[in-house]
Amino acid sequence: MMKIVILDGYTLNPGDLNWEPITSLGETEIYDRTPQELILDRVRDADVILTNKTVLNKETIDVLPHLKFIAVTATGFNNIDTVAARERGIAVSNARDYSTHSVAQHTIALMLELIQRSTDHNASVMNGDWGNQEDFCYRLSPSIELADKNMGIIGFGKIGQRVAGIAQAFGMNILVHRQNTSHPEPPGVRYVSLDTLFKESDVISLHLPLTKDNQGFVDKTYLSLMKPGSYLINTSRGPLINESDLFTALKNEQIAGAGLDVLTIEPPKEGNPLIGMKNCLITPHQAWATRESRNRLMHIVADNIKAFAAGKPINVVN
């Protein structure tokens, strides 16, 4: 029987899901979180390791004699030395396409909150401000109508495509920058260069994986191309944005606002200048984490383990 060790299971299952799809596959030890100094003790006899963000570096991988398979309970796998795993003949599989609807939903929620400022208006009403108005309505900030505005999407995988579909329902025009333009443009979508996308978009949303080539690419150069009344949304990976440059753009009102579900360092360190800015909306990397999405993820990870045990691993990244 396989020994399975789950190093940081809390983010996947804080108690509202059943671990049975995985525990039925072998002897399983589940830890909510694992500090770096306890990793070796906990996985020394493991055949299979599940990790979300816990780091598995070369030094750890090289001293685990029983390890045969690493299953990532996420799509990103930059916390694993995949080269070291490959050299040891250890397959690494990730999970894909489990959070498409949830992340797209959160992206649109950030966009609408930035534009409508519903939370601010609700707080004002609860504070008694409405009753003190001379008119039947009032506005704390300007809002725009999305119809005929341009939604710029960078990265056009399943999440980007889903966001485009929802934005089209609002009557928005879709501008897309993607690496692979061999596929024909979908109806209502126009493939454009990065420069054109930043110049013409009223809302820009990032939906691409983090690589060594795109780290910090949203910097002062591209931010300076954006319209003064435009918005930037990131539900992808925090390091895609140069946070110092974004802070300057927001402070100087070069752009109207930003909605971020991810930051360069998570959890953020004290003193992150973006936290507390009136025109920067930040949520705690929760776009993916609906119950439906996490349940889907649980079953994808279980399928990855089953496929490996059957000698036909799937979703292998190394």
The pLDDT tens digits of the residues spanning 32-53 come to 999 999 999 999 999 999 999 9
Per this entry, what is the length of the chain? Answer: 318
Query: Rounded to whole angstroms, what are the CA distances from 8 to 5, 15, 50, 293, 311?
Result: 9, 13, 8, 17, 26
- Strands laid side by side in the 48-51 sheet: 27-30, 3-6, 48-51, 69-72, 91-93
pLDDT range class, residue 54, cuts 50, 70, 90: very high
CA distance 248 to 152: 21
Q: Which residues are catalytic?
A: 237, 266, 285
Write down the pTM of the prediction. Answer: 0.92
pLDDT computed for residue 317 by the predictor: 95
> For 15-25, what is each residue's pLDDT tens digit?
999 999 999 99
Does 181 score more than 90 pLDDT? no
238 within 8 A of 260, measured Cβ to Cβ: yes
pLDDT computed for residue 182 by the predictor: 83
Does 142 score more than 90 pLDDT? no
pLDDT (mean) for 291-304: 98
Please provide the distance, in angstroms rounded to a whole number, between the alpha carbons at the two ends of the chain. Answer: 25
Does 189 score more than 90 pLDDT? yes
Geometric angle at alpha carbon 94, from 153 and 151, rounded to 5°:
5
> For 167-179, what is each residue's pLDDT tens digit?
999 999 999 999 8
Mean pLDDT, all residues of the chain? 96
pLDDT range class, residue 247, cuts 50, 70, 90: very high
Concatenated DSSP letters of 57-104: -HHHHTT-TT--EEEESSS--TTB-HHHHHHTT-EEE---SSSHHHHH
**Residue 205 has which token pair?**
């949303």
pLDDT computed for residue 258 by the predictor: 98
Helix and strand counts by DSSP (H, E) for the chain = 11, 12
Tell me the percentage of the chain whose pLDDT exceeds 70. 100
Q: Which amino acid makes up residue 301?
A: V
> For 256-284, what is each residue's pLDDT tens digit?
999 999 999 999 999 999 999 999 999 99
